[in-house]
Amino acid sequence: MLQISQQQRLLQKLTPQQIQYLKLLQLPTIALEQRIKTELEQNPLLEEGVEDEMEQNQEDGEIEAPETEEPTNGEAEQKKEKEEEFSFEDFVNDDHGDSPRVSAPRDDEERDEIPISAPEALTQKLTAQLQLADLTDIGMLVADEIIGNIDEDGYLRRDLDMIVQDLNLSRKLQLTVAQAELVLKRIQRLEPVGIGSRTLQECLLVQLEARNFDPRLKEIARVMLEKYFDEFTKKHFEQLSKLLSIPLPEVKEVLDLVSRLDPKPGEGEITTQENYVTVDFIVHYEEGEFVIQLNDKNVPPLRINKEYKELMSRKKKNGVSSETKTFIRQKFEAAKWFIASIYQRRDTMLRVMRTIVDKQRDFFEMGEGLKPMIYKDIAEVIKMDISTISRVVNGKYVQTDFGVYELRYFFSEGISTQSGEDVSNKEVKLRIKEILETEDPHKPLSDDRIAEILNERGFNIARRTVAKYRESMMIPVARLRRKIS
C-alpha cells in the first residue's frame, strides 16, 4: 500500500560559484593561465585590465538603474546625447573590430612566451630512420605497429604474436611471427640502439653486439648475459667467476663493460616542455623575514568591459530582445563570479603557503629540520576544510633558497626520538641515505645494522621501518649493493 509522508532534512550543497572556485583552486599556474585565456575568449564581458577603484565600489550595486529615480533636466539631456551616439543593439551586433576597448598596459616582455622549436618525438625519429631502410610496404606497416607499442622506457611491452594477429585480421594479411621478428631486429638496431627490446636481457645483448668493445671481454659478457643472466642480476660474483672460468678481477672488468650499456634506451627522450616545472610560489628569507610571493606575473588582471557595463545600467534598451538581455546578464554574472573566484584563489593559496612556512620555519631558514605535519595542521590554523588544503597542495611547487619542492614534500608522518622530540620521516630517510653513502661497497650494511646506527643517533626505529624507507627510496638490499674490488 502506497504511503505519502513528509521528511525534513538538512542538506549541504555547493553553488555553481563555489564549484568554480574549487576547480580554479586546484589548477597550477600554467593551467590557470590557459583557463583564463579560454574564459576571455568565451565571455565578451570579460577583458584584461585593472578595475578602477570607483568601478569596484559600484560593482556590487544594481545592474540596472532604479525606475523610480528621475534625472534632472541637464542629466536627461546628457544621457540622451550619449544614447544617440550608438544604440544597445548596434553594440551587441558589432564585432568589436573598431570598438574602443580600454585595457591596462601589459608587459609583453613578461607575458609573451619564448618561441622554441617543435620537439621531435621518439616515434618520429624511429620512423624517419626506417624510411632510409630497405623495407617493403608491409614491412613499414609492421614497423609502425611495433613502434606504436613501445613504452617510455623504450621497451616493447606487447606480445609480438598479438601484433601479428591484429595486423592479419585488420589488413587481411598473412604475416608470420618470423617475418615480424626480422622487422623488430631492424628497429632494435636503430638509434637509440636496443629500442623495442622485450626484456632487459635482450636489450643489453643487442647493445653489446652493436658496441665496439674488446673482443675477448665482449664475448665473455655475451656468454654471461645469455647463460648466466640470473647470477648477473643477483650479483653472485663468486659463482660467475667459477661459471665463466675467470678470476674475480676479470669479472669486474666484464661487469664494468656491461654497466656502460643503457638499460632504458627510451629514457631521456623528454621534451623541454615536459621536463620543465613552473613554480607556483617563491619564498625567500631576507633580513630575518620571509618574503612569500605567488608566481602569477603571467596571469593578467581581469575586469568587466566598461562599454557593456554602461549599456546594462540604462533603463531603456531600444529594439533589444529579451533573449539578448538575458544573455548579456548571464555573461555579466559569469564574469563577475570568475573575477571573484580568481581573487579568492589567490588569497587562499597565500594563506596556505604562509602557514606552511610558519610550521616549517627551520627548513626554509636552513634547508633542513623538516617537522612532521599533516593537512589537518594547516586546516586548523586557517579555518578551512582539509579538502581545500589538499586542492592547494596537489600539483603545486615552491621555489626556496634551497631548491624547488613540491608542496606535498612538507607533509609527512612523525617519528619519536629518544629525547622525546618528533621528527619528520623524511629526515629519517635523509639519515638513512647519508649512512648508505658512506658504507663500504664491498661489505654493504644490512637493514638491522642501519637500524642500530639510527638508534645510536637517537632515532627510535625498527628494522622493518628501515626496510620500508629504503624501498621507498628505490635503494636495493645489501646483497645487490655489493661491489667487487
* Residue (of 412, 442, 428, 411) closest to 470 by Cα position: 428
Segment 60-73 shows an average pLDDT of: 42
Q: Could you tell me if residue 6 is left (phi over 0), alpha (psi between -120 and 50 degrees) or otherwise beta?
A: beta
> Is the predicted pLDDT of residue 331 greater than 60, yes or no?
yes
Of 225, 217, 180, the closest CA to residue 201 belongs to 225
SS3 230: helix
pLDDT mean over 135-141 = 90
Q: Please tell me the predicted confidence (pLDDT) of residue 113.
A: 46
Summarize pLDDT for 93-126 with one digit per residue, the tens: 444 434 333 334 444 444 444 444 444 578 888 9
pLDDT of 268 reads 59
Report the share of the chain in percent with pLDDT over 70: 80
Q: Kindly report the backbone phi and psi dihedral angles of residue 312, in degrees, each rounded to the nearest multiple of 5, phi listed first.
A: -70, -25
CA distance 313 to 78: 15
Q: How far apart are CA 154 and CA 203, in angstroms?
A: 9
Question: Are 22 and 314 contacting, i.e. CB atoms less than 8 angstroms apart?
Answer: no
- Cα 200 to Cα 477: distance, rounded to the nearest angstrom: 20
CA distance 214 to 218: 6
C-alpha angle 312-316-322 in degrees, rounded to nearest 5: 70
145's grid cell: 605497429
Task: Give the pLDDT confidence score for residue 64 in this predicted structure.
Answer: 41
Q: What is the pLDDT of residue 305?
A: 84
pLDDT confidence band for 208 (50 / 70 / 90) = very high
Contact status, residue 266 vs residue 150, Cβ threshold 8 Å: yes
- Straight-line distance from the first to the last Cα atom of the chain, in angstroms, rounded to the nearest whole number: 88
Count other C-beta atoms under 10 Å from residue 5's C-beta. Answer: 4
- Output the pLDDT for position 484: 77
Quick one: which H or E segment has residue 292?
Answer: strand 289-294
- Quickly tell me which residue has 560593482 as its cell: 59
Q: Provide the CA 343 distance to its chain's centre, in angstroms.
A: 23
CA-CA distance, 158 to 179, in Å (whole number)? 17
Ranking 69-83, 95-109, 234-248 by mean pLDDT, the lowest is 95-109
Return the C-alpha cell found at 403: 631548491
